[in-house]
Structure formats: C-alpha cells, structure tokens
Structure 1
C-alpha cells in the first residue's frame, strides 16, 4: 500500500518569478531586516531565527541579488577595464589575464573603450563618478587619466602596460626601454646598420621608451641616428604598419632591418614589403614587439620581444584587489624575453 508524504511543497510564486526578500521574511515570520542580516552576516542572529530564515530561503528558492547586497555594503564587486583598442589582440590577452584573477575572487568585469569612457560627454564617465565600479585597471595612455585621477582621487586605479615613472598610481609593466635595446642590439649583432623604427603615437609612454631604447642601442654601436628612418604610424593596427612601411620603400637607400614597436605594425610591414617583392628576412629583416598569438603562426614567424601579456593582466588585477582590501600595492616590473623566429 502506498503512503502519501505530507512535506510542504516549495512556495514558489505562481508567476514563476524568483521569490522576493519580502516573501522570504513573510514565510519565516521575521522582518526583512532580519532576513538581510542572515544573508549578509552583518549582525548576530539567534540559531532558531537563522534556521527559520534558511528554511524559507530553501523552500522558496530565493536567490539574493548580489548587486543589491554589494551596494548595501558600499561596493559593486565590479571592476572597470579601460582598453584603448579592441582590435589589438595584445589588449585582449591582457584582459584574459585580468579575468583569470577577478573571477576567482568574486568580481565581475566591465570592459570599456578608453577614449569613449574618458570623454567629457560620455555617459560611461558617470559610472566612475557614481562609483558603479569599485576600481579601474587602465590600459590607456596615462596622460589621459591625470585629469580624472585628480577629480576622483579616492577611486582605486592601477595602470597596466604603461610604465608610470612618477608613481602617482601603481602600475605593472615591463622595462620597455631595455626591451627595445635588446631588440635593436640583436639586429646590430646580425650585421644590420640601417635599422628603421616603426613607432606609434608617442603620447603613449611605452612608445617613447621604446624609441629611447632604439636610439640608445644605435648610439652605443656608433651608428648615426637617421631621422628619415623613423616612421610614426597613425595607429597600431596592421593597416597602419603597411602604410608606414610603404614610406620606407620610397627611400633612395632603404633600410636592411625594421624594428616595429608592436607585432601588429611588424606584420603590416611584412605584408607591405611582400607586395613589392621584398623578401623577409633575406632582403629586409623585421623585428616585432609583444609576441601576440598570431606572431608564431604568421609566415615568416615573427622574431619579437615577448611580454608576459596574461601575467601583466593578472598582476594588475592582484594589485587592484590589494588596494581594495586596504593594503599597499607597489608597482611591479615583469621580465621580457627576446624570441628569435624566422623574420629576423
């Protein structure tokens, strides 16, 4: 003979919507404030009351609104990442590194276009003023950040990729100057004397520092610095590398090697050289910078300076979390490496 169980069914709302905190309070016979105390652990609650609330939560299938809880505690558990160029795979790899740390620590990410967010008429800027993000990891030009840092001095920031010399905010980077020295010295050791530089907007500190390294390596080798061999690309996309490299081909005495301050510029340069029948590296060697994933599968595989890209992002996230926890967050310089492949 079968028996019928008398266990009460979960009191799920007929609408199928998730139960509200007020429904939990009513079910448990306590106030909404008491439910909140149990869920958030903000104040001591006696064992009987806690058990009733927990039973009501289980019966109703209640899920607390994490954002609402966070706002009550004065935090959102959201971090903002400012990215200068979504098309550049270098920045995408950094964001992956950031996410690997924030996910484990219960933080969500909002990834935003740096130029749009920092624009004075941008709605995204309101989210910073209204503290809808607990902190910011910026991959943008540090010069663009200074006005905002002055206006929101208590919002925790960390700069990533940019090496910030004045120490206003913690940063994680490599030694861009030394990395460029290593790159150019490799080309010099291979017998090159006419070495061109494909660089980027020097509002970026890393671009200035890489140019400084290029010039230092040439001077150290007693090679005159020829301003005609320096080309400033209009951006760091592949097409701008093709464009800038094309101007080198018009020179009466073309360079025998090119040092590009990003892999995307280097790959663009190789495509420009190929279009006019120049072989790489036989006719002209090309050195990149960053070691983005495509660098190893492109033909010819790119000789480049490898940044620990995901580690940059992960370290930046760790620095920011330290700041949010009230601890000191000192700047960090990571190691680069020269990766020799087929292009130089």
Structure 2
C-alpha cells in the first residue's frame, strides 16, 4: 500500500496505523515502559511507513522544559472561559511560558493535536476547565503530568484548584430573590455532570428550604447547553406552566440572557413581570438590556490563580487550592 508522506505524520496517525493506543506509541518512542516485542515491531513499522519523526524538542524534555502549557476549555464560544484564558495568559507570559489551547473532551480523540502535544511531552503542564470524568483516561496514562483545575474541580483530590464556592453563591442569588418577595422561583440549570452546575442547583434548594418555600419540580429545568439559544428554549418550557414563575435563577449569564429574550418575546417585562438573576458576570451582562443582576465570578483572577498554582507545581512545590470570593451584582433585571 502506498503511503502519502507529503506532510509530517502525527503520533495519533502512527497509533491508528499500528492498531495501538497513542500511549503505546509514546512508550515505544520514549522507552518509558516495557512493550512486548510484537507490539514494538508494529509501532516501529508504522513509524517507518509514515515517515514519523519525533520532535527533537520532545527528546530534550528529559533534561529541560518546553515552556508550553496546555489549557483545556469545554466551550470556546462561552465568554466566561474567554476571560479565564486572559487571566492565565497574564501570569504565564511573565514567567516566559506560552499557552496552547485544547477543546475538551475533544482533546481525547485520536486525531487531537492537543493530545499529540501531551504524549510527545511538548507541554510542561495542564490547566483544566473541563469535566474531570472526560479526562480520567488521560490522567491514568500520564500520572506524573503537572495538573491543576480551574472552576471545575475534583473535591477531596490531590489536584490543586482555583474556584469559588458555587453553592454559597447560588444561595446568595436565590436569597436575594426571596428577600424581594418572590416564592415562585424557577431554576434554569445546565449539564449536571459538571460539579459547578450541581453545586449551584444545591444552593438553589438550600435557599428555598431555609425560607420554607416548597420547590415545584415543574420550575426546575436543565438546559441542553449553556448557549443563549438553550436559555430561550428552557424559558419557553417554563412559560408553558399554568402557574408561571415570578422569578428565575439561571446558573449562567448566557442562559439568563437567552431566557430574558424568550420572556420579552412572550410579552413579559423584566423585572416587572418576572425577575431574572444570572451567574458569572460576563462582559455582555452589564450592557445587555435590561442589565443583568448576577453573581460575579472573578474570572480573570481565577485564571491567574490557576496559572500561579501550576507554576508552583512546576517549580516542585505543593500548592494549596484557592477559593476566591464571589459578589452579587445588582442591576436592572431583578
């Protein structure tokens, strides 16, 4: 069979050609773990057939460092993550590092360039905003990789993280609505595979229970995503209820803004007919009409803190996780 070698093959292509995992190819190339003779021969044959050449920089990493850090981002379109990226960059640039961005969980796909970067040892460490369970296979394959989490984290883990107290922040948001006289308070949540979404949902329940307000299951909606359109979609379902809510707590600003658009299309005034509180304080929240009442996460500071934690790990330290302060920002929507 004729192989096209007009462009450099990636480690994932070598793995597919040999019928093995990327981790196995890495073990053969870097001699990090024993590999049986048959498997080694298949990998070496694939390397020769594809003309794969390991980067000279990768070979030198046992003696030095690449000055590259990988940041795993679940959704590049979400402005929340954009602000965190800026915070990360503000710290690592001063330390002489550059940033490589990888989408998660796509990073685990066989043709992922970001995954190549890790298996070739071209990244010194990782900052992850991704769902932990999506990344468990990677952590098992590379247990020695310096790793920190940001916003989304693993409770009681030895992986240091920078985050806020998501549950208490949600309690503060819902309590504000209760203090304004609302009892029919809806919750618009997101994918609860994420810890932050589960904790914000729990905060909603805690605030309602403390106030002695029964939770109507019909007023709890899980959006199919965090984009604006999913907020519109879920808000429409809430409006279909016979006894509609007088207030809404959304677990992200994007969902809250989408919901407001749906409410206004239905002829409702915000906040006169229904009050809305979001979460994150993304830049759009203060220029949107009506300006959004929201929980402000210190997004830039979260990114900077995560970067500082990773740099400390790379220097051989054992950094302690950091919980940053949130703030309730009252504007026009509630």
Q: Same fold (TM over 0.5)?
A: yes
Bin of the TM-score, shorter chain as denominator length: 0.7 to 0.9
1:217 counterpart (187, 193, 207): 207
Q: CA deviation at 1:145?
A: 2.1
Question: Which residue number corresponds to residue 113 of structure 1?
Answer: 103
Q: 2:163 aligns with which of 173, 191, 197?
A: 173
Give 1:75's aligned residue.
65
Q: 2:281 aligns with which of 282, 288, 291?
A: 291
The alignment status of 1:270 with 2:278, answered yes or no, reads no
Q: Structure 1 segments of 4 or more deviating over 2 A?
A: 67-74, 118-124
Q: Is the 8 A contact 2:101 2:114 kept in 1?
A: no
Cα offset for 1:76? Answer: 0.6
| Residues 80 and 299 in structure 2, CA contact (< 8 A), matched pair in contact too | yes
Find the aligned partners of 2:241 and 2:187 in 1 and give their Cα distance: 14
TM-score, normalised on structure 1?
A: 0.78
Across the aligned residues of Structure 1 and Structure 2, the Cα RMSD in angstroms comes to: 1.6
* 2:306 partner SS: helix
Q: For the Cα contact (< 8 Å) 2:58–2:121, is it kept in 1?
A: no
Cα distance change of structure 1 residues 143 and 228 upon mapping to structure 2, 3 Å threshold: same
CA distance in 2, matches of 1:126, 1:284: 49
Alignment of 1:152-231 (within 5 A): 152-231=142-221
Matching of residues 236-255 of structure 1 within 5 Å: 236-255=226-245
Structure 2 unaligned residues grouped into runs of 5+: 1-56
- Residue aligned with 1:76, SS: coil
1:128-143 equivalent positions in 2, closer than 5 A? 128-143=118-133
Distance 2:133 2:158 in 1: 12
2:324 is equivalent to residue 334 of structure 1? yes
Whole-Å separation in 2 of the counterparts to 1:157 and 1:163: 11
2:277–2:333 Cα contact (<8 Å) kept: yes
Aligned pairs (5 A) from 1:20-99: 71=61, 73-99=63-89
Structure 1 stretches lacking a partner, 5+ long: 1-66
SS of residue in 2 equivalent to 1:287? strand
Q: Indicate how the Cα distance of structure 1 residues 129 and 69 shifts in structure 2: closer, same or farther if over 3 A, else same.
A: closer
Cα displacement (A) at 1:120: 4.8
User: Which structure would you say has the larger Rg?
Assistant: 1
| Count of residues paired in the alignment | 279
Instruction: List per-residue Cα deviations over 1:240-298 (Å, max 9, x = no partner).
Output: 10111110010001000000000000000000000011000000000000000111110
